[in-house]
Structure 1
Amino acid sequence: MPADISMGLALDVAAELGIPTVGLWPAAVLQLAVLLRVPKLIDDGLIDENGTPLMKHKMIQLSPMTPSIHPMNLVWLNIDDSPSTPKFMFDFQLRNYRVAETTNWVLCNSSLELELQGFKLVPKALPIGPFLATNRLGNFSGNFWPEDPTCLQWLDQQLPGSVIYVAFGSFIVFDQIQFQELALGLEITEKPFIWVVREDITKGKHHNYPKWLNERVGNQCRIVSWAPQAAVLGHSSIACFISHCGWNSTMEGVSNGVPFLCWPYFADQFLNESYISDIWKIGLKLQKDEGGIIRKEEIKSKVEQLVGDENFKTRAIELKQMVTKSVGDGGSSDKVFKNFVQWLKS
């Protein structure tokens, strides 16, 4: 029986009935490895039994060639601002993810080329990804917002490798100060950009910056409420991706050979940022000021640094070629998946 590992109860019931179980893990396999090593983190004195860091400045690294994790970026500490959330999420995740130790296999949306060391830490994890929207059979209707495909026509009018794509997923909400700094930062890059601006992307009163921005920059920008992201990232005019670094967005960017500017907000996004900037070296981190704001000057500077250094694009293309090969016929993920199918049939 296959089920998302976050649905631990379903897998527990299947195991009690003697039904073989297979977990599905949609994030980086290293994130699963961190959760499975919580007892060791406690024994080593890095966190207490509630998941609270005891050594708040000692980086956590599970093995060489895996990202170092700041203890304050552990996933259960970065869900929301409620003081009760970290303990609740810590207990919830441990209860659910312990089932990963009892499942027969865990299917992962990743590949050996991306996370070789991570898969060594979780031997029963099977790399069968990346799963991509472009590989779906038939139409997919699972978007939170209706897509605006007209932005693709606008992209057709732009020069190759010239456009900044800006998207932060379905849940991130900006305060007005940060939203304005982002708008100003995009303007002063003097580069064309597509910006996905959901209706609920800011706190409080609905923003009016996109209208103001359109008046200032004209055809330099295209603002949409939701974009066909896979098609946008695969377009030849895209230069880079300013992203929250959710795993799905990360896999889509990697699979299209697009460099990243990393803007993580919560949960596993900080780990993904470390993969992008520190391990794969296909992107840069954006730095906040003392007030916790990413200023317009920082955005402009990092965009110029990213698109001005061909090494980022070269490495991104090389990584794209590796993951494309992995899911192709005879590739590493393809072989793992076919072996898994044979196991199901046996």
Structure 2
Amino acid sequence: MENADVLHVAMFPWLATGHLIPFMHLSKCLAQKGHTVSFISTPRNMDRLPKIPPHLSPLINLIRLPLPHVDGLPAHAESSADVPFHKQQLLKRTFDLLYSQVAAFLEDSRPDWIVYDYASHWLPQLAAQLGVSRAFFCLFNAAFMSFLGPPEALINGGSRSTAEDFTMVPKWVPFHSNVVYRLHEIAKNVESLSENLSGTPDTVRFGTVVAESDVVAIRTSAEFEPDWFNLLVELYRIPVVPVGFLPPELRDEEGEKDGKWVYMKQWLDKQGVNSVVFVAFGTEVSLTQKEVNELALGLEQSQLPFFWVLRNQSEPTQTKFPIGFEDRVKGRGIVHDGWAPQAKILSHNSIGGFLTHCGWNSVIEALGFGRVLILLPFLNDQGINARLLHGKRLGVEVARNERDGSFTRDSIAESVRMAMVSDLGESLRGTTKEMKGLFGDKDTNYHLVDGFIRLLRENRLSHTYGKI
């Protein structure tokens, strides 16, 4: 590669594990093509990242910026996983205080591009003043972003102000759709927005980063959701480039060093092919005691083997299982407390289905291995993802109370058996296996990444820098 074609790209993700990992994955893709990356985050988040392969480490520079403290947050909170859901907007207020440090870095290093997340609403204008090209790397799918709407509607507040407004198809969606929120899914989000603890609502953050970017890169493919992708292009009126799904690299998963994966694999190896349901709800969902009870009894009632990762409980020491549950499922079910190598577990041939919160990262991992989904959304984009996936016949949605989101052991057991073993679920299992090539094939996905890198190279700004 000629030096004139070599880029310096700065990456600045939001402070969440599910955002840090894909940003690092894209950074590795850039480095593999010979480009230099400055990966910007906080010290504790850097420590959580997978190790960079030795042949790429000279091209990926980790820029550690200390996170200022804001009253109301734990002293060492640097990630959404470190705080309960109701404090995440306060974490965004802290994140915004990184402005001066990021400005100093950009002025000193002068990258060709800055690639940022939705929370960095102040960064596009800063980069423009410095003559740095701007890309919003969107880690949500096109259906969710289209549901949110055009940037001007997001910035100005639009016509949706109540939770009920989000349970209806938006007026800008021109085709038939069932992709809407359930009332219980959106109520927490609307309540959080009304409190405005971050100082800037998420809707404004999303709208601003779209409106003030040169390009939007999105973690999806037009082949998977063509109607939604085409609508997004119309709504944004700037280049929207799919970068594919960035399927996980299993060597990035940790676990061997402390023996966790060893015992997990030993148990999984004893199970039949496609017989186990894997249960996990990401780094931000915290179950209530009642939800733990119903989920436990539902898994028991399903009579299927299960591997349940139970983590991030608000009061983990007080989480209790129904009387006798652990004895009754001994040998058939595992409840693992704490972190687990999710991609490695999903890749094991004993896993047949995934009971999931429908976070986009988790969905991508599961479909990349052809696992049928049991859909149990809680927060953020998860409800929209669940409707999209259910409509594409990639999973079974757990029946719940529309207003409070409660579910029963019966609904858990019925959904798990439908997805995993029922004759009625056979077509679902076949459809998800067909998705393995689209979501999991690295050549197909990296071809899309190459298109994005080509766009960066061909469209970087001439460096006529301004002053802040």
Q: Is 1:315 aligned to residue 426 of structure 2?
A: no
Residue of structure 2 equivalent to 1:125: 240
Count of aligned pairs: 331
Distance apart, 1:41 and its partner CA = 8.9
Q: Which residue does the alignment assign to 1:336? A: 448
Q: Which runs of 5+ in 1 are unaligned?
A: none
Match for residue 106 of structure 1 among 216, 240, 250: 216
Instruction: Give the match for residue 59 of structure 1.
Output: 169
Partner of 1:92 in structure 2?
202
Alignment of 1:191-340 (within 5 A): 191-198=304-311, 200-201=312-313, 206-209=318-321, 212-225=324-337, 226-278=339-391, 280-289=392-401, 292-307=405-420, 308=422, 309-325=425-441, 327-328=442-443, 331=444, 333-340=445-452
Indicate whether 1:33 and 2:146 are aligned: yes
**Cα–Cα, structure 1 residues 107 and 159, in superposed 2: closer, same or farther, change >3 Å?**
same
Report the CA distance shift for 1:212/1:11 in structure 2 as closer, same or farther (over 3 A). Answer: farther
Give the AA of the match of 1:208: K
Contact between 2:155 and 2:207, CA under 8 Å: does it hold in 1? no
> 1:133-144 to 2 correspondence within 5 Å?
133-134=248-249, 139=252
262, 277, 285: which is aligned to 1:172? 285
In the TM superposition, what is the alpha-carbon distance from 1:58 to its structure 2 partner? 3.6
The structural deviation recorded for 1:130 is: 0.8
| Identical pairs, percent | 25
TM-score, scaled to structure 2: 0.63
| Secondary structure of 2:278's aligned partner | strand
CA distance in 2, matches of 1:89, 1:78: 17
Pair 158,71 (structure 1): closer, same or farther in 2 beyond 3 Å: closer
Letter in structure 1 aligned against 2:115: P
Deviation at 1:204, TM superposition (A): 8.0
Aligned-partner Cα distance in 2 for 1:56–1:93: 13
Contact 2:358–2:377 (Cα < 8 Å) also in 1: yes
SS in 1 for 2:427: helix
Cα distance change of structure 1 residues 256 and 90 upon mapping to structure 2, 3 Å threshold: farther
Contact 1:100 1:106 in 2 (8 A): yes
Q: Which runs of 5+ in 2 are unaligned?
A: 1-113, 234-238, 459-468
Aligned-residue Cα RMSD (Å) equals 3.2
Distance in 1, Cα, partners of 2:400 & 2:433: 29
Instruction: State which drifts further: 33-42 or 250-259.
Output: 33-42
| Preserved contact between residue 148 and residue 154 of structure 2 (Cα < 8 Å) | no
C-alpha separation in 2, matches of 1:89 and 1:264: 27
